[in-house]
Amino acid sequence: MSIQPGQSIPDAPIQVIDVDMQQRHAVELFARRKVLMFGVPGAFTPTCSNKHLPGYIANHDALQKRGITVMCLAVNDAYVMQAWAASLKVPAGLLMLADGNANFTRALGLELDGTAFGMGLRTRRSALYAEDGVVRSLQIEAPGELRVSTAEAMLAVIDA
């Protein structure tokens, strides 16, 4: 079962890529701030690279003006996430979360079994809005869709 609105972000180690790479704990990362974290099945995959992450890049300023920190979660290693961020020119402050062993993904209950496609365990395509470490909204995509977890959809949820 996935995390639900009203629940606190679980603690798990996570690699954070911004200007540099650092190991952090999720509870600390979400504390005392508004966070919009979107999960993607994988760096460099077509929908993630052509639509999902680019939408958050395009809307990063609008989210920052609302005081929201944007984070992208994927079950990839930190070096892959760093290369993906560089390839798409991810702006400073849009944090890339590398969950190489899927510890945080599993703690959130957002795992996706992609073994049938040769991808192993991944993060479900989703978006989560939290304030001070408490989930306020969670949107999980149906298989093969990109509607409810886009930056535009989440802006509408936050502004409602």
- Count of positions (residues) in the chain: 160
**Does the annotation count 72 as an active-site position?**
no
Measured CA to CA, the distance from residue 1 to residue 53 in angstroms comes to 25
Q: Assess contact for 97 and 90: CB atoms under 8 A.
A: no
Helix, strand, or coil (residue 42): coil
Instruction: State how far the Cα of 109 lies from the Cα of 1, in Å rounded to an integer.
Output: 6
Q: How far apart are CA 98 and CA 24, in angstroms?
A: 11
Locus of tokens 């703690």: 107
Which residue is catalytic, options 12, 17, 48, 75? 48
Mind telling me the catalytic residues?
Answer: 48
